Structure 1
């Protein structure tokens, strides 16, 4: 009886020992696998994180460039629509403006002088081929090719109109999440005189619009 119990006890201890040894081997193997896998996993995570940040930066850059192009489009539109207060609001408060060699005191001075000089004279401004560069956090620069057409109504002592060609060199700054023009340098390469012109009167319902000929 005692001999049989001894045999059973010995067998149980053998099985326990074998199980413990197997568990130890598995744990050790698992730890080794983790140790070997961790650098690779960490490197992969870092690479994915860097790629995500790079993509986010590229998207932000494209959004900023689009916002600046929209800003300049509003600049041209507000000039032609005679929206001078809205035009002045497109600039930072202390923006530096130099156009055709004239330095303006402030964006308001620039916008209101355009208002006083051109009055209701029709104009058409356009900007082409923008080169926008993000130069730093919330800063950018731009170069635009430009054309403008300005005519005055025909009449005694009416100023001469022109078709101008030139270039804008500008800087921009993002203020409270909104891009604004921070400096402007407008240089004209060519100015062609054009005859004065009386805009056609607005057509009344049921009639064809009239077209006034250029003054000679």
Structure 2
């Protein structure tokens, strides 16, 4: 995912890039302090999102957003401004988001996840497909690979459970050393014949849960 940062203050640009540095899927393709350069940079780099200040000396950010909206394939625009009073006007030029300085990392990440739901790449024969992380119900370690189970289908990916959990901690919870489940779809936790099991909405089988994970689930962790 490529993004462009536009702000006439170099430190402000650097801060945004730093806030996004922990998102491995995001790459800063360019940055500029001149609003008049934005259109040419977008046409050259084709970013998916532009992080745009409003108050700049050579051109108002609202004007830039209007020009961007007229492109054939316009990027999404997130305004980052010290002036909350411009928010209503910003959405009038098709802004996808509005954050007030100083921007908090959690706010920025949450907004980007909303605009660009995270996806996982997998292969079917010679075809590459993409699966939104939100669709995954169960992830199960299978030798050197991981089996992803989603509604009415399965996929195998070359990612470990540890990697999945580190990348998407808000989505997955680990219930066993070889199993992750979708946190929001856990239906019930039961204890039968000396073992714990969890049911997940949309998945027909009960899933074994380790004692440590069961204690964490019961305590609300």
Common fold, TM-score beyond 0.5?
no
Q: Which has the higher contact order (CA 8 A, sep 6+)?
A: 1
Larger Rg: 1
- Bigger share in helix: 1
Shorter-chain TM-score range: under 0.3
